[in-house]
Amino acid sequence: MLRFGQKWWLIGSLALMLAGCQRTETPDTGQISPPPEATPQQKQLAKSLEAWNALKAEYGDHYRYETRFVSWTGFRSTTTLAVRGSVVVTRAYESRYQNDAGEDVSESWTEEGAAVGSHESGADPVTIDALYSKCRTEVLTQNPQDNMFHLYFHTNGVLETCKYRPLTCVNDCLFGVSVDALEFLPFKND
């Protein structure tokens, strides 16, 4: 007999399987145009991308966003990325954890210009548009029989979390992207 949570997971998984995984992309704008048989998640992502493009049209393509990671072990990190005209111009990273001796350990750094991407730690130096693409092509394409999906949006419609978790994994198993904070920036013209 299925428990309550398992029943809803099974219903959601069946709905994903039956809805299909086909997507189309409009070449000129990169916007998602889901076919009528698209999954509910694909339709939600397409609507969110429309909201994101509307905000960029209103405020410009200059913004800063944060993505955070928190582990059950106590490790936590925040990567802050600044984007100007579709290029990541700054990436800052902070992390904290306790070592085996109980001492607080931290790391922080900032990259600018050509140095962006030079550190191995931290979130990838990509735009929010690239996060939408990764959500569409790497997360929502995972097998719903083997994974649980986490798809959430901010109140303004912008993507907040697009991750999947293999059902066989318990700790630190969320894979995908997140936009934990977003701020549009006023850049001066060069």
Q: Are 47 and 157 in contact (CB under 8 A)?
A: yes
**CB contact set of 43 (below 8 Å; sequence gap of 6+):** 34
Q: What is the pLDDT of residues 131-169, one digit of tens each?
A: 999 999 999 999 999 999 999 999 999 999 999 999 999
Predicted TM-score (pTM) above 0.95:
no
Q: What is the pLDDT of residues 10-31, one digit of tens each?
A: 334 333 333 333 333 333 344 4
DSSP letter at 25? B
Q: What is the pLDDT of residues 117-136, one digit of tens each?
A: 999 999 999 999 999 999 99
Q: Which pLDDT value is given to residue 187?
A: 67
- For residue 135, which of 26, 28, 42 has the smallest C-alpha distance? 42
Rounded average pLDDT over 78-93: 96
Distances (CA, A) of 114 to 8, 79, 125: 48, 17, 12
108 Cα distance to chain centroid: 22
Least confident segment among 10-14, 37-41, 105-109, 164-168: 10-14
Q: Which pLDDT value is given to residue 108?
A: 96
